Chain A
Amino acid sequence: MCRILAYLGEPLPAQHLLFDTDNSLVRQSYSPRMMNTFLNLAGFGMKAWDPASLRPEDPFTYRVTTLPSFDRNLRFMASKLAPTCLVAHVRGVTYSGEGVVADTNLHPFQFVGTRVALAHNGHLRQFPSMRYSLVEHVEPALAQHIEGTTDSEWIYALILSQLDDPYGVPETRELADAIANALRILRRVRAAHGIDTSSPANICVSTGRAVVATRFSFDYGWYPPEDEMLETDLPFVSLWYAIGGEYTMRDGGWRMTVGDLPRSVIIASEPLTSDSSSWFEVPEYSMLTAELGPRGLEFETRDLDV
């Protein structure tokens, strides 16, 4: 299990999202409020799009297996970066010999030459038994890029394979449909392998101009006997968002400013502040889409029935 964060909107110092608030993403690596028995100590990753940077269509990328709370390089960079879009992730793995902590397993994933990045909070139970049945649904050229051992990287390859052009910048609607199609394929493959236990799939995908996120689980509420992830899974895996003008410190608290039209949105596994009154909970089984358009931020929530 992991924690994810996405931001889209006005240029915003990454430091505010990663470090400054009392439940920032980095804090969620060692003290998540909404996970009782699990920490996210298996690495940090970030993609940040800055229109003022060289080749603005390519995100700034930083991924390390060390703990972000002690990472001075990350602190220095976060204080200088002010992206209009950011996807970041702190990774959690089971406390067992099966977990592989390696840079090839760090999110967000983005294959060379593609314009879509993905971070995932969740896990597909019994993934080793279904992995190779996914091969037929993944473009061979994309499958060759899979380097790590995670289910998340396969989900990423599966989503890319649903796009007309996996190397282009898809329309937001096409990206949302690709995610829904990938989830349908996963459901079919799970059924073919007799897998019917809880597998959360909170997915966050971005092109730098749009973010699509899901709060979803297959077979929520069903667990294998003696499963060590049970305690973490019993509540539906969380996802929240804050939307408004700009994210700023005002009257002693961090919150979105109120404006006529929303210009910025933060999507996160947990509210970035202990005071959650300025945050909305994403409904279970739903998908969010956010896009920077000519009239500001276009934002939509819809039921995800796959």
Chain B
Amino acid sequence: MSDRETVDFLAGVPLLEGQDEAGLVELARVMRRRTVREGEILWRQGDDAREVLFVVDGAVSILLEVPGNRTMEFGRVGRGQILGEIAVLDGEGHTTSVRVLETATVLALGRSDFAALLAGQHPTAFRLKRRLVALLTARLRNQLRHLAASLGGEGDGLPAEPAPALAGLEPCGPPDSRYVRRMATFHDFDSLALWGFLTSGKYVQCPPGRTLVAEGEPPAAYYLTINGAVEKVLVRSDRRIRVGLAGPGMAFGYESLIDGLPSPVAAVSRERALFLVLQRDVFDELFYKENAVSRVFLEAIQRDLLATLRRTLRPCARLAASL
């Protein structure tokens, strides 16, 4: 594969769409090409992550290892797709194992070079960050589809109209800023930009047991839990499974605002709760602008998606082991 062919390949990778020619040439220069053979294990679940891989040709299988020495196939990845980004981004071990199905060519990009691509305030970095967030959202939907399929039965159906985001929620004042700064989600954010994000929406509270988002509902708002906790649940026939718990610093309801698809889960307050709510217009402004506040916002969404992806695997493992 010549340097020119590598650049042409990268130009066709959906995640990198919009990168200029000079950027792609530079990227190609720091990537390493490898051929991996059928049956080879590229990494095991829990292994440290040193690089992301772009698949040039061939196919690999994504496997969740669950207790009882069993595996569950989560999907297959082929030309133009990326692997390993979750562990590279959050610095924890790989969430799944990867096995080569058909002998493949991959391009490896080291952790620091991948981080460099995402850094900075220039438009290319913002575009890449948004695509990455969309990719992580797609990964989350895929995991939730597997969970829902394990439950069997049908969802509760689509409501005709989206519920207004703030309907029935009691407005309240903002939380103590010192408290918010101590949340792990916001530790290392620039104070001014974080303040810009936290003052963009409205603060509301609700009692336990309130359905805030229905599964299958069209997009309505981004909710950030400040106090209390919200259960994310899937319901199929008479089976109900909690796929996550959004406590302080965790968000919910936003997947639909990113990809325009119906909400993949329902969200119900488990404790009395206080939220920051960003309605669609505010969400879009923060998501698509390219300034310091938007950078904090995109980073917060990315962190939330990474944590949610890891947590959603836990009920997947429980269900897979019980089948």
Q: List the interface of chain A (C-beta within 8 A of B).
A: 36, 219-223, 225-226, 230-231, 234-236, 242-244, 256, 258, 274-281, 283-285
Contacts known (A223-B179, A280-B67); A274 close to B242, Cβ less than 8 A: no
Question: A275–B247 Cα gap in the complex (Å)?
Answer: 25
Q: Which of B46, B179, B228, B272 makes the CB contact (< 8 A) with A274?
A: B46
Using CB atoms, name the residue of chain B closest to A221: B228
Judge whether B16 is part of the interface by a CB distance below 8 angstroms: no
For window 26-64 of B, CB contacts with A under 8 Å fall at: 45-46
Asked whether A280 lies within 8 Å of B317 as measured between CB atoms, the reply is yes
B314-A280 in contact (CB<8A): yes
Q: For the complex, what is the distance from the CA of A225 to the CA of B176, rounded to whole Å?
A: 8
B271 touches A244 (CB 8 A): no
A-B contact pairs, 28 of them (CB 8 A): A219-B271, A219-B272, A220-B229, A221-B227, A221-B229, A221-B271, A221-B273, A222-B228, A225-B176, A225-B179, A226-B178, A230-B179, A231-B184, A234-B248, A236-B229, A236-B245, A242-B67, A256-B67, A258-B68, A275-B46, A277-B45, A277-B66, A280-B67, A280-B314, A280-B317, A283-B242, A284-B242, A285-B270
Contact A221 B66, CB 8 Å, known A234-B184, A280-B321: no
A283 to B312, CA, bound (A): 11
Please measure, in the bound complex, the distance between the C-alpha atom of A226 and the C-alpha atom of B177, giving whole angstroms. Answer: 11
Closest approach, in angstroms, between the C-beta of B187 and any C-beta of chain A? 10
Task: Determine if A279 and B67 form an interchain contact, defined as CB atoms under 8 angstroms apart.
Answer: yes
Q: How large is the interface on B (under 10, 10 to 19, 20 to 34, 35 or more residues)?
A: 20 to 34
Contact B247 A276 (CB under 8 A): no
- With CB as the reference atom, state the residue of chain A lying closest to B311: A281
One of A244, A258, A284 near B245 (C-beta < 8 A):
A284
Assembled-state Cα–Cα distance A36/B183 (Å): 12
Task: Give the contacting residue for B182; candidates A231, A235, A274; CB below 8 A.
Answer: A231
Interface check B289, CB cutoff 8 A: no
- On chain B, the residues within 8 Å of A275 by CB distance are 46
Q: Once bound together, how far apart are the Cα atoms of A235 and B249, in whole Å?
A: 9
Q: Write the nearest CB–CB distance from A259 to chain B, whole angstroms.
A: 9
Residues of the B chain whose Cβ atoms lie less than 8 Å from the Cβ of A220: 228-229, 247, 270-271
Tell whether, in the assembled complex, residue A244 and residue B68 are in contact, meaning their CB atoms are under 8 Å apart.
Answer: yes
Chain A contacts for B272, CB-based, 8 A: 219, 222
With both chains docked as a complex, state the minimum distance between the C-beta of B44 and any C-beta of chain A, in angstroms: 8
User: How far, in Å, is B183 (CB) from chain A's closest CB?
Assistant: 6
Bound Cα distance A285, B270 (Å)? 10
In the complex, which residues of chain B have a beta carbon less than 8 angstroms from the beta carbon of A221?
Answer: 225, 227-229, 247-248, 271, 273
Chain B residues within an 8 Å CB radius of A283: 242, 315
Q: Is B217 an interface residue (CB 8 A)?
A: no
- Interface membership of B2, Cβ < 8 A: no
Known: A220-B228, A222-B228, A225-B176. A277 touches B273 (CB 8 A): no
Bound CA span A284–B45, Å:
24
Q: Which residue of A lies closest to B176 (CB)?
A: A225
Residue ID in chain B nearest A36 by CB atoms: B184
A285 / chain B contacts, CB cutoff of 8 Å: 270
Q: Mark B282-323, 1 if CB is under 8 A from A, else 0.
A: 000000000000000000000000000000001101100100
Starting from the known contacts A36-B184, A243-B67, A280-B317, 17 additional A-B residue pairs (CB-CB under 8 Å) come to A219-B271, A220-B228, A223-B179, A226-B178, A231-B182, A234-B183, A236-B247, A242-B67, A244-B67, A258-B68, A274-B46, A277-B46, A280-B314, A281-B314, A281-B318, A284-B229, A285-B270
Selected contact of A277 from candidates B67, B227, B318, CB within 8 Å = B67
Residue B255 is within 8 A (CB to CB) of chain A in the complex: no
Assembly CA distance A170 to B45 (angstroms): 42
Chain A residue nearest to B69 in the complex (CB): A258
- Name the residue on A nearest B270 (C-beta): A285
A21 to chain B, nearest CB (A): 14
Taking the complex as formed, is B65 at the interface, i.e. its CB lies under 8 A from any CB of chain A? yes
8 closest Cβ contacts across the A-B interface? A221-B228, A281-B314, A275-B46, A277-B65, A278-B67, A221-B229, A221-B247, A221-B248
Please give me the residue from chain B that is nearest to A280 by CB atom.
Answer: B318
For residue A276, which residues in chain B have a CB less than 8 angstroms away from its CB? 46
Kindly list chain A residues whose C-beta atoms are within 8 Å of the C-beta of B182. 230-231
- CA A220 to CA B317, docked complex, whole Å: 25
Instruction: Check A222 against B247 for contact (C-beta < 8 Å).
Output: no
- In whole angstroms, what is the CA distance A220 to B283 when docked? 27
The interface residues of chain A lying within 8 Å CB-to-CB of B228 are 220-222
Complex alpha-carbon distance, A277 and B45, angstroms: 7
Q: Which residues of A are found within 8 Å of B271, using beta-carbon distances?
A: 219-222
